[in-house]
Structure 1
């Protein structure tokens, strides 16, 4: 069976949810292990309860760090989308000045953004590019010349 590339799931689309699921499975496994350890400890030499609390606290800190990283990734994605939207309609010039024009669309990749100009040329958005606000006298029409 051939699968059209338009129906394929983009790489990384489910990373956040799978990482969250994996963390929850690991957390549940840790709790099961902790309970089993408590049930099966040697009655003549019981483990100190502070060790259990310390293990639980450490694992809880790791889980909270993972959740914070997930939230930071979501904020970063939202910021990138906002920046990309803000570029549309602006004039952009490449670092060396060889390519310039008005941004028609922005393509976002894992390693950066590429501005596609009305002429079809592409400019990598990064250090050294010049971005200026659209002129107020622009009617938005293109000349055929």
Structure 2
């Protein structure tokens, strides 16, 4: 069976890791669709694909689609949780794990890989393991 080429896409510059991951997921989904359609178009008319195989491919397609929707929902939930956590530490006292840096949180910077608390002294502290929040 001959399968036509699939166009590649480059990842965008800039943007968050979540945006890049979402675009990659979309690319994978689109690629899967393209391959499925191309395979159906390129069947040998004298020996077409078995109906069982077609149903199995459609079931796989459905699973891929459901997985993508689930991942989007989980990303949204995680983002909401991170924003709630960021808002809850503003105005509270935070101390680093080594107890060398301490202060009142005046703002929180949210990044794809975590939170950074900006203290009233101007210092910044990564919110992570070992950090004490009062």
Match of 1:80 in 2: 82
Unaligned runs of 5+ in 1: 1-8, 133-145
TM-score by length of 1: 0.69
Match of 2:45 in 1: 41
Shift of 1:101: 1.2
Between the aligned partners of 1:33 and 1:95, the Cα distance in structure 2 is 56
Work out whether residues 23 and 63 of structure 1, in 8 Å CA contact, stay in contact via their aligned partners in 2: no
Match of 1:120 in 2: 122
TM-superposition CA deviations, 1:77-114 (whole Å, max 9, x none): 11111111111011111112111111000112232211
Between the aligned partners of 2:125 and 2:62, the Cα distance in structure 1 is 45
- Note the aligned Cα RMSD (angstroms): 2.4
Structure 1 residues 58-67 or 19-28, which shifts more?
A: 19-28
Work out whether residues 93 and 104 of structure 2, in 8 Å CA contact, stay in contact via their aligned partners in 1: yes
**Structure with bigger gyration radius:** 1
Shift in CA distance, 87/10, structure 1 to aligned 2, threshold 3 Å: farther
Between the aligned partners of 2:37 and 2:48, the Cα distance in structure 1 is 18
Structure 1 residues 15-24 or 85-94, which shifts more?
A: 15-24
**Count of aligned residue pairs for this structure pair:** 121
Q: Relative contact order, CA 8 A, sep 6+: which one is greater?
A: 2
Match of 2:20 in 1: 15
Unaligned runs of 5+ in 2: 1-12
Q: Does 1:94 align with 2:99?
A: no
TM-score by length of 2: 0.74
Match of 2:8 in 1: none
